[in-house]
Amino acid sequence: MSKELRRKIRYRAEKRFQVYGIVAISLALFFVGLLIVKIFSEGSSAFSRTMIKVQINFDSKKLGITDINNKDEVENADYYTLVYEQFIKNYPYSNDKEEKEIIKLLSPDYEFEAKNYFLKNKDKLDETVTMLFTASDDFDQLHKGNFPRNIPEDRRRLSNYQLNIYDQFLKEGKIKKIFNNYLFSKGDSRDPELAGFGGAILGSIFSILICLLISFPIALAAAVYLEEFAPKNRFTDLIEININNLAAVPSIVFGLLGLGILLNVFELPRSTALVGGITLSLMTLPRIIIPARASLKAVPPSIRDGALAVGASKVQTVFHHVVPLAMPGTLSGTIIGLAQALGETAPLLLIGMVAFVVELPGSPLDPSASLPVQVYLWSESAERGFVEKTSSTIMMLLGFLIVMNSLAVYARQRFEKKWN
């Protein structure tokens, strides 16, 4: 085989390799794009909430209020019966079943919505106002186009009678879409239209902050000692091997460690961001130590030699010159490690952060969920409204991860030193 022929064969092989690479990247981008489109198409509707306009007369006799300044009377007034009677009276019904079907168009929270409105507008006593009430999950999904109407009635969650009322609402202009502030201001709920991931966001933030406060200083100190001060012997080699092995240990093992030590031995409160943050910090430690050591090793020896030559001690050389120059890479590795911890589910499930938490956590010691755990909980729910809630939570989680990874890239590019 001639030299010219061998060169042509090599060039063709290189071109095929380039084509294979382009095809592989294109397929990867296609499937990632398909996943993102599906998530956004299913989750974008969760950011809106369907409301029903209802004329409500705050009749003092029906409410049982004789003195508007009596706080107990106002707090304990019968808002449930008031809204119930004034909502169903506008729609004729022939039996108890249809009566119940009318009120089921409203969210179970209508009593508290009326109460909250009146507490802010006490001057509306014995006056008629137009209020917006949250629609039920089925009604909400119907208005968003996620509820099929062309299937038999016995297979639908909404009856023909309810669909006729919906059509009447549309003609009368009694349906309105607003921004779903419940999504960010509320915790979990049995009713999809009232559920939000506000508690999960706070739980994730608390957990990540605790993880950062524990793992970063310990990991940095360990990396500095191993790279700059520790003698090179079998003991330090064993430590390095174990650190590398810990970085590859499945996260659920750290969940078992948190369950056995933090909950059973130290008896820390279950389902709290404190325990979640400590557990995640144990998992994140080796994943910060490794890039921190690599960043320290990347600092040229001339920096150390120059500092020592002008009279600096070993400690001064390391902490005044080497560590600051290695900090961009260390911060980058730290942020990526925290981003990975943010998306962990298995260790949090084992320490009890899978509990049904309605109230927003006020501190790391309060029961809370996290974004990935909330995705897990809602993905197992049968109600159709939780499908869009699950996708919207994934969107929020992806947003956090994109921001954290962007910060890592920015920190490296902004502060990294170029060595000639």
Query: Hey, is 8 helix, strand or coil?
Result: helix
Sign of CA pseudo-dihedral 241, 350, 401, 328? negative
The pLDDT score that the predictor gives to residue 173 is 92
Give the tens place of pLDDT for each residue, 70-83. 888 889 999 999 99
Closest CA to 219 of 347, 316, 321, 333: 333
Q: Which two tokens stand for residue 195?
A: 């559920």
66 Cβ contact list (under 8 Å, min separation 6): 60, 73
Residue-wise pLDDT for 258-291, tens only, equals 999 999 999 899 889 999 999 999 999 999 999 9
Cα(356)–Cα(129) distance, rounded to whole angstroms? 36
Residue-level pLDDT at 288: 95
Tokens of 245: 């092995």
How far apart CA 399 and CA 276 sit, in angstroms, is: 21
Question: Residues 52, 105: contact at Cβ < 8 Å?
Answer: yes
Say what the pLDDT of residue 1 is: 64
Segments of the chain scoring below 70 in pLDDT:
1, 417-420
Token pair belonging to 121: 């507008």
pLDDT of residue 356: 84
* Spatial distance between the Cα atoms of 175 and 53, rounded to a whole number of angstroms: 6
**CATH architecture classification, 198-415:** Orthogonal Bundle (1.10)
Would you state the structure tokens that stand for residue 207, as one six-digit string? 């957990």
